[in-house]
Amino acid sequence: MTKDYHKNSSQPIFSVVIPAFNEEKFLPKCLESLKNQDFNEGEEVIVVDNNSTDRTVELAKKFGAIVFSEKNQGVAFTRNRGAMEAKGKIFVFTDADTILPKNWLSRIFDSMSLKATESPDTEGGIGGEFEKDKELVAFGGSCEFYSGPISARLASKFLLPIFLFLDKFFSGGWNLMGCNMAIKKEAFLKIGGFNTSLKLNEDVEISYRLREIGKIKFDSAFKVKTSGRRFRHGLIFGIINYTPTTIFRWIFKKFDRIQIFYPQRKEESLVGKLSFPLFLIFIISFLFFHLLNPKIVMAKNLIKNDLNKTVFIERRIKNGIKNDFRKLKNFSHLRRWAK
């Protein structure tokens, strides 16, 4: 049954904004996960089509989402258009290739300590701690890859938390992730939304500006599942794509440099599929040629023999010194006896 996102009050609590460009393969799973949310306090789902040529719009409408169109190409333009049309008190952003846990909206609701009813002493307020803590402007979490090369999926599980910690250190605070972020409407409008001059890291850049006007809450354990298509050519190639921009902003605090961004709508890649097996072959080869190679083994034996000789010589010297010392003591006794 299609969920009706128009059935709630004129101002729902959440407006979920999903940018979409030729996402017919991924979008249905994202929208299905939104339909299965355990949150029923009031939300609307907005899909913003960014010049798709496939069945993206058709599928979005089939799932009952509110659909708008944005002609300016780019995720920042698309997210801003969705926010401009949104009616919710909190703007929640995710990506079309992301699958959301059942408690996604309720977790955001609880983390911000929102209440469905308005506070009697605030005009249009949300209530709860979100109204009490006026500095709280945004909340977000992390992600894991559910597809793509094995190396990338393992990295998203074990290495991404380390990167997020380093990013917090160099950035001066937590940065939000575009696939899992919620921003208070007033704060979003106050800073002017996403920077449309950026093709990459628009979610990080808006985090910098949000920290200037308020507080960001971030829970690295609060994860959504997203596709690993940006790492489809392997972990190393994916890291290379993001590293220059990241290092530049860490050092110079600039976001408009080295904007290397390749739109990718596929996950299949021969290089990506072979990256992990090739890595294993490299490790095995390294171990074989550096540990089992006859020359290496011979060198290790020579070193071992030299060490054994050294130990033997040291023992002979020590024994010799002990014998000389005993002789010296006996000679002293003889001298006293002679007197």
For residue 132, count other CB atoms closer than 10 A to its CB.
10
Lowest mean pLDDT, pick from 25-29, 49-53, 235-239, 263-267: 263-267
**What per-residue confidence (pLDDT) applies to 139?**
96
Cα separation, 276 vs 283, in Å, equals 11
- CB-side exposure of 14: number of CA atoms within 13 Å? 29
Model pLDDT for residues 204-214, shown as the tens digit of each residue: 999 999 999 99
Model pLDDT for residues 152-187, shown as the tens digit of each residue: 999 999 999 999 999 999 999 999 999 999 999 999
For residue 12, count other CB atoms closer than 10 A to its CB.
21
Name the pLDDT band for 200 (thresholds 50, 70, 90): confident
Is residue 309 predicted with pLDDT exceeding 80? no
The domains of the chain are located at: 14-270
Average pLDDT rounded to a whole number, residues 57-77? 97
Name the pLDDT band for 118 (thresholds 50, 70, 90): very low
**What per-residue confidence (pLDDT) applies to 119?**
41
For 14-270, which CATH class?
alpha beta
Average pLDDT rounded to a whole number, residues 70-77? 96
